[in-house]
């Protein structure tokens, strides 16, 4: 067993891939916890699809594709906010409109690029973690460090805003700035995850680890810690499955994390379908942390 675990580590590409898998599994779970609590999973999907035209344009002009993808992700969130503020269109409809338009533009640009260049950009759709370079590992590490630092520094503010935006505004918090900051963190996380699972599957890593942890623990910081652990385990396990069974790495990672969610859904000691009667579940557990925070600040 130990020999089987160590065998992939003799290859440099597997070493780089495992480092990327750990980093992405960590930050996706942490940032995705906020999306899950806010019930904004569609926003993560919208931003992930919206980065495609940015990376295509960056490739065309010879710029860093990560920077191009990040700019496109931020522009998509601004477009969603503008549509919501200037029209009667609801937020979920605005998300659907924006991410469909951005995604279509990205696919079109990628198709045009491939006519003149013998390069495959389609791996950004489904991930190509085995092809990461040393520079991409460094870029992902820097993004991960920045995202985690912001979450640590603004944990209480983001917690308050996530659960009760109106209450946070009444308390004097800069809710617009917090909202924009959260969108930036999501965009950075998606950019960091592009080579791992691709823009199509990144939503699974953003939402599923946190959702799994939500079924097992009570407080948001515990959801983040456990979700990060689940994300890392799923990412590494998916990499080993990809290596030994010759299956695509991105889908393998998503299948593992989805399997862990199913186990928690069925057998969680406090929320499981088979282990905890629905009539006894009562108040959502994460609301208790917000109440404790409000009592402490009062």
Q: State yes or no: pLDDT of 60 exceeds 70.
A: yes
pTM of the complete model? 0.80
Pair of tokens at residue 267 = 């057998």
Phi, psi of 209 (to 5 degrees): -60, -45
Question: Which has the closest alpha carbon to 227: 203, 208, 210, 205?
Answer: 210
Count of other CB atoms within 10 angstroms of residue 278:
7
Q: Is the Cα torsion angle 175, 41, 19, 12 positive or negative in sign?
A: negative
Q: Is the Cα torsion angle 61, 67, 71, 72 positive or negative in sign?
A: positive
Pair of tokens at residue 165 = 């935006």
pLDDT category at 279 given cuts 50, 70, 90 is very low
Residues 71/54, Cβ–Cβ less than 8 Å:
yes
pLDDT category at 226 given cuts 50, 70, 90 is very high
Q: Report pLDDT for 297.
A: 54
Residues 48/203, Cβ–Cβ less than 8 Å:
yes
- Asked which of 56-60, 127-131, 205-209, 245-249 is least confident by mean pLDDT, the reply is 127-131
Where is 94: in which H helix or E strand?
A: helix 91-116
Q: What is the mean pLDDT of residues 55-79?
A: 86
Q: State yes or no: pLDDT of 1 exceeds 80.
A: no
Map residue 283 onto helix, strand or coil: coil
Question: Which has the closest alpha carbon to 197: 168, 155, 239?
Answer: 239
Q: State yes or no: pLDDT of 127 exceeds 80.
A: no
Q: Report pLDDT for 287.
A: 52
Question: Which has the closest alpha carbon to 260: 295, 214, 220, 193?
Answer: 214
Q: What is the mean pLDDT of residues 67-91?
A: 85
Residues 66/187, Cβ–Cβ less than 8 Å:
no
SS percent in the chain: helix, strand, coil, step 5: 85, 0, 15
Measured CA to CA in angstroms, residue 171 lies from 43, 165, 166, 174 at distances of 26, 10, 9, 9
Q: What is the mean pLDDT of residues 162-172?
A: 81
């Amino acid at each position: 067993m130990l020999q089987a675990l160590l065998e992939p580590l003799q290859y440099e590409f597997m070493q780089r891939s495992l480092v990327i898998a750990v980093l992405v599994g960590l930050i996706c779970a942490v940032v995705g916890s906020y999306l899950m609590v806010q019930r904004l999973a569609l926003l993560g999907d919208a931003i992930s699809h919206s980065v495609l035209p940015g990376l295509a344009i960056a490739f065309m002009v010879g710029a860093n594709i990560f920077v191009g993808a990040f700019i496109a992700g931020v522009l998509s969130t601004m477009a969603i906010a503008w549509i919501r503020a200037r029209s009667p269109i609801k937020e979920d409809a605005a998300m659907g409109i924006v991410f469909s338009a951005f995604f279509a533009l990205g696919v079109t640009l990628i198709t045009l690029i491939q006519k003149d260049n013998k390069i495959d950009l389609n791996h950004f759709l489904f991930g190509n973690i085995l092809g990461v370079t040393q520079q991409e590992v460094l870029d992902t590490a820097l993004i991960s460090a920045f995202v985690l630092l912001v979450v640590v520094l603004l944990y209480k503010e983001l917690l308050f805003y996530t659960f009760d935006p109106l209450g946070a505004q009444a308390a004097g918090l800069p809710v617009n700035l917090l909202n924009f900051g959260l969108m930036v963190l999501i965009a950075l996380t998606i950019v960091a995850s592009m080579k791992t699972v691709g823009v199509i599957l990144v939503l699974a890593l953003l939402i599923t680890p946190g959702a799994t942890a939500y079924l097992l623990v009570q407080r948001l910081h515990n959801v983040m810690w456990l979700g990060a652990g689940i994300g890392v385990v799923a990412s590494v396990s998916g990499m080993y499955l990809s290596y030994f069974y010759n299956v695509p790495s991105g889908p393998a990672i998503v299948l593992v994390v989805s399997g862990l969610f199913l186990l928690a859904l069925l057998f969680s000691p406090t929320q499981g379908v088979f282990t905890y009667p629905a009539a006894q579940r009562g108040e959502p557990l994460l609301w208790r942390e917000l109440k404790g925070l409000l009592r402490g600040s009062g």
